Chains A and B, each alone.
Chain A
Amino acid sequence: MTTGLTLAGLTAAAVVLLLNLRPWWAGSRDVKQLAAFGKGSALGLVSSVCPGGILGWAHAHSAGAANVGGGRLTAAATGVQTAAPVAHRSLTGLTQPGACVVVLVALVVVLAWLAAGKKDRRRILGGAFVTSVLCLAAGVVGALTWVPGLLNTIGASVAHSVGAAL
């Protein structure tokens, strides 16, 4: 059972996004400082493309955590319950070559997470959380419908060039 994203969950994602972007914007604005957050975002994006499996499960259940966290935050700060649902839509159409690319991207991010320090690990997790939650909202998904096709094309062209019959 997948819980739908609420306004509170969207707020939680926005909070994590601001916590990551605001220090960067107020600081040196060095693009390299966003590398860890970007790697996490890549993992969140490829997991939101998955129709199931471990990644798809984590993506579908990121809404629950975001709803609870954001609901507590907004209720404690303002006293307003924000349970209004956000229209849901999902990225679809991942093929077998695309799935291989997803696995490789996830592997790269996991390796980066293992090699990262404590702070960068939190940034990677934050990026994955933010992107995963945002990709549950219909508006964001509408702007990202090209992602599964891109993954499929990359995977298919690599598989074709090495002669793999997927």
Chain B
Amino acid sequence: MPAVPEPEPTWWDRALAAVRRIGRPWQAAAALAAAVAPILPGHYSAATTWAYVVHQTRLDHGAPAGYVLAAGVLAATVHLASRRPGLLRLWLAAVALVGASSAVAWWDPIAALTGVHR
């Protein structure tokens, strides 16, 4: 009887494995929750504050600067968190991840292709 081949891991399996590499799932969830928790004065969270900084960089210095800042900080924090996992480092990565979303605008790929700006 031929051996049944292992099924290919789905993208969900891969994502879970990636999360497990940098920490336990509850740690990742706690880090995400702490990143968006309104802990700063004025009910701002660390993630929204970082998102504001990224967005302001984008406005002042152009879209590429926003992408570079967000991606650079995200890469650095993810590198830190995956090298030596810890709740603080996971929190930093979560803040960078949520904040990076404000560097992205849906018009960017169209502008990059055609040169027509909004």
Contact = CB atoms under 8 A, between A and B. Distances in A.
B115 interface: yes
B105 interface: no
Nearest to A102: B114
A54 interface: yes
B112 interface: yes
Q: Chain A interface residue count: which class? A: 10 to 19
Q: Of residues B114, B115, B118, which shows the largest number of chain A Cβ atoms within 10 Å of its Cβ?
A: B114
A54 B115 CA distance: 8
A38 interface: no
Nearest to B116: A99
B116 A55 contact: no
Q: What does DSSP make chain A's interface, helix, strand, loop or mixed?
A: helix
A96 interface: yes
B110 interface: yes
Contact of B113 (A53, A96, A98): A53
B110 A50 contact: no
Interface in A79-126: 94-96, 98-100, 102-103, 106
A95 B114 contact: no
B111 interface: yes
B118 A50 contact: no
A139 interface: no
Interface residues of B, number: 10
B115 A52 contact: yes
B118 A96 contact: yes
Contacts of B115: 50-53, 55-56
A103 B118 contact: no
Interface in B68-118: 107, 109-116, 118
Interface string A23-59: 0000000000000000000000000011111111000
A125 B110 CA distance: 22
Contact of A54 (B107, B112, B118): B112
Interface core residue of B107, B110, B116, B118 (most chain A CB under 10 Å): B116
Contacts of A56: 114-115
A102 B110 CA distance: 9
Interface of B: 107, 109-116, 118
Given A50-B115, A55-B114, A56-B115, 4 more contacts: A52-B114, A55-B113, A96-B116, A99-B113
18 contacts: A49-B114, A50-B113, A50-B115, A50-B116, A52-B116, A53-B116, A54-B113, A55-B115, A94-B116, A96-B110, A96-B116, A99-B110, A99-B111, A99-B113, A99-B114, A99-B116, A102-B114, A103-B114
